[in-house]
Amino acid sequence: MAEQQAGLSGPVEVIGTGLLGTSIGLALRRAGIGVLLSDANPEHVRTAVGLGAGRPRQPEDRPQLVVVAVPPDHLGEVIDRALSASDAVVTDVGSVKSAPLAAVRGHPRVARYVGSHPMAGSERSGPLAASGVLFDGRPWAVTPHQASDADAAALVAALATVCGAVPIELSPVEHDRAVARTSHVPHLLAALAAGRLADAPTEHLALSGQGVRDVTRVAAGDPALYGQIVTANSGAVLDLLTEVRDRLDAVIEAVEAVDRPALEGLLAEGVAGTRAIPGKHGGPTRVTESIFVALPDHPGELARVFADAGASGVNIEDVHMDHDPGRPVGLLELTVEEGRGEQLLASLESKGWVTHR
Amino acid sequence: MAEQQAGLSGPVEVIGTGLLGTSIGLALRRAGIGVLLSDANPEHVRTAVGLGAGRPRQPEDRPQLVVVAVPPDHLGEVIDRALSASDAVVTDVGSVKSAPLAAVRGHPRVARYVGSHPMAGSERSGPLAASGVLFDGRPWAVTPHQASDADAAALVAALATVCGAVPIELSPVEHDRAVARTSHVPHLLAALAAGRLADAPTEHLALSGQGVRDVTRVAAGDPALYGQIVTANSGAVLDLLTEVRDRLDAVIEAVEAVDRPALEGLLAEGVAGTRAIPGKHGGPTRVTESIFVALPDHPGELARVFADAGASGVNIEDVHMDHDPGRPVGLLELTVEEGRGEQLLASLESKGWVTHR
């Protein structure tokens, strides 16, 4: 089995039984590995135990690995305490990796600490929102540092694998730069775009299309949590925000001067960026095309359209449902590999669906 | 019939047989209204005629309504010429409404011009991408001005209705402010976020989640087209970009100073903005919850899951498929009305699906 090859035999102590900690417990138990749970809130431990995520930690327990899954503000102190308590390998699952390392860099057992960060979550929180399949197929960053033991990093990578995720090794600094770019700065820009809508007249908002919904969706996240995350990664975030401010100034200048070539150059950077994001399954970006199906808004229609789409033999790469104002018809977007749209379109039309590209 | 009530009997002349013009022709022909087509590119007219969008315009034709569907840069001159050619009502379907009005404000027949803007499109272009159902259920802004005739505005609203869209009346200035807010500025911020990814190391991009994909999706649009649109709406766009720059400076300051309350206040503006966007069917935003289903990546699974979801009796408000790196499992997000998630979850789990919240 994978977990034996990788040397993860357990038990694994999980400190903090919120969404992530409890989900890790569930995933490990699914793999048959012993899990020891603790939390500042004893009710959360009882809930997590009740869900089957492990058993309460006892003083005599000797974990092989400790997973610290507490809020960003408390990571440093809890990792420090875990390193002092035993010679177990210690990891954490916080969204930022340099700050907790800095907090324990002077610890005599810092070689046993290797941070990590599963790229999975939910807008919900607490143990009741947990799931043993939360990490299935997700990237899970593992961030060894100059002073860390290789076997400690391997054990943390094994944790990711056993939980169903794909471990990706990066240094803590690289990780923080990566998430500043792929998560924190996009979040802040989404919040700036969404903020412009807060006091907009209703009749202006009536013109909202799918684009603005997509751009602003992540901005619905908890301000307190994102405040902790962004300030814990201030260096990498500020580097990029400075770049963003320069480019924003250039956009403003280009619009003021009606300097089309300059504006088009800035927009072309964005096009290049969207093409740089890896495609489904982490492979190179696949070229796709979309077709649209008009969808009566009652239960059963989705099942019928996917049954008919399945019968066409064309694999659906992505689906998206559009929200339509003023009438009970939805628009379903089906994304397929380039060149397959015609076949799907013809097949759906032959079954009576109203479609377009 | 709706079109007779509203006074639209045709024929309708469509100048410019690209995606929008040809789609309007198809929608009007579907409603039995005569359509006269012209385009600077005669091949586009032949294609549109071949698709059934109408017949080529002849010198002796007397249209009731002229629809100008040419690129933003050419709107003013083509509207001007159309007003001079007859006493037909003239509209256009450009993304910006003050600039074309300004171009014809001095025309003796300006009372017969009422601009409009269907909130529909595609990343594809040209007559072959057209569809008679492109506008079904979409908002279609109709923008009368101080000098326009009421019957001209009513005829343009009738055009929107006959094409299947929902007419929304706004002044040209209001329209341009609305789309600056709900389309142009979100597009520019998406481009700024995406631009940071263009030269990012591959291992950084490997941490890309669904969030950054959603934030940056619209930034893939054609820079030349968006350059025309944004510069034609420079006033409203600059007002908002100035606000954005102020807020960006405040974000930078808050992150530098680790001023959590200030940062949380800025993020809370974003949360309020996401809640201001109208919900499905233009009604008040409905509170929803999401559940997730692990989905094997082969044809037929989508049909199976929606058949099982349909059997649960819970209406699906929205669907989204997540892209997973490294393994052939997708995550399907199903959004349902708040309080219905548990029922759907239980129903899907009883049919053997691996689900979580």
pLDDT at A141 over 60: yes
Secondary structure E strands in chain A? 12-15, 35-38, 55-56, 65-68, 89-92, 115-118, 139-143, 166-169, 288-296, 316-322, 329-337, 355-356
Q: SS3 for A66-104, per residue?
A: EEECCCHHHHHHHHHHHHHHCCCEEEECCCCCHHHHHHH
A24 part of a folded domain: yes
Which of residues 158 through 177 in chain A touch B, CB cutoff 8 A? 166, 168, 170, 174-175, 177
Which residue among B276, B301, B330 closes a domain?
A: B276
0.90 surpassed by pTM: no
B139 φ, ψ (degrees, to nearest 5): -65, 145
| Mean pLDDT confidence for B304-326 | 70
**Distance from C-alpha of A135 to C-alpha of B206, rounded to nearest angstrom:** 15
Same domain flag for A263 and A141: no
Which CATH number characterizes residue B244's domain? 1.10.3660.10
| Mean pLDDT confidence for B138-143 | 92
Q: What confidence tens digit (pLDDT) does each residue in B43-92 have?
A: 999 999 999 999 999 999 999 999 999 988 899 999 999 999 999 999 99
| Encoded tokens for A351 | 């079954």
Q: What confidence tens digit (pLDDT) does each residue in A198-257 have?
A: 989 988 999 988 789 889 988 988 899 899 999 999 999 999 999 999 999 999 999 999
Give the domain range for residue A262.
176-276
> How many structural domains compose chain B?
3
B17 part of a folded domain: yes
Whether A218 and B207 lie within 8 Å, measured CB to CB = no
Whether B256 and A234 lie within 8 Å, measured CB to CB = yes
- Measured between alpha carbons, how far is residue B76 from residues A321, B44, B109 in Å? 36, 21, 14
**Distance from C-alpha of B232 to C-alpha of B71, rounded to nearest angstrom:** 11
Higher pLDDT, A96 or A331: A96
Q: Is B126 on the interface with A (CB under 8 A)?
A: no
Same domain flag for A247 and A310: no
Pairing state between β A288-296 and A329-337: antiparallel
A306 part of a folded domain: yes
Q: Which chain B residues are Cβ-neighbours of A241 within 8 angstroms?
A: 248, 251-252, 255
B148 φ, ψ (degrees, to nearest 5): -90, 150
Which CATH number characterizes residue A342's domain? 3.30.70.260
Number of H helices, E strands in chain A: 15, 12
Higher pLDDT, A114 or B222: A114
A197 φ, ψ (degrees, to nearest 5): -90, -15
pLDDT at A5 over 80: no
Which residue among A170, A186, A202 closes a domain?
A: A170
- Predicted confidence band of residue A326 (pLDDT cuts 50, 70, 90): very low
Same domain flag for B74 and B152: yes
Same domain flag for A118 and A229: no
Closest chain A residue by Cα to residue B198: A273
DSSP state of B297: S
Q: Is B352 on the interface with A (CB under 8 A)?
A: no
Which of residues 24 through 53 in chain A touch B, CB cutoff 8 A? none
Q: Is B250 on the interface with A (CB under 8 A)?
A: no
Q: How many CA atoms lie within 13 A of B84 on its CB side?
A: 10
Q: Calculate how close chain A gets to B195, using CA atoms only, in Å.
A: 4
Same domain flag for A16 and A84: yes
Same domain flag for B206 and B88: no
A324 part of a folded domain: yes
Nearest to B313 among A166, A187, A299 (CB): A299
Q: Calculate how close chain B gets to A344, using CA atoms only, in Å.
A: 12
Same domain flag for B239 and B159: no
Q: What confidence tens digit (pLDDT) does each residue in B155-209 have?
A: 999 999 999 998 999 999 999 999 999 999 999 999 999 999 998 998 899 998 8
Q: What confidence tens digit (pLDDT) does each residue in A195-204 have?
A: 999 989 988 9
pLDDT at A58 over 90: yes
Which alpha helices (H) appear in chain B, and where do they start and end?
2-5, 19-30, 42-51, 75-85, 98-104, 150-162, 172-179, 185-195, 202-205, 210-216, 223-232, 234-256, 260-276, 301-311, 341-350
pLDDT at B330 over 90: no
- Measured between alpha carbons, how far is residue A238 from residues A248, A321, B257 in Å? 15, 36, 11
What is the torsion angle, in degrees rounded to the nearest 10, for the CA atoms of residue B305, residue B309, residue B310 and residue B313? 170
Q: Which chain A residues are Cβ-neighbours of B255 within 8 angstroms?
A: 230-231, 234, 237-238, 241
Q: What is the pLDDT of residue A321?
A: 67
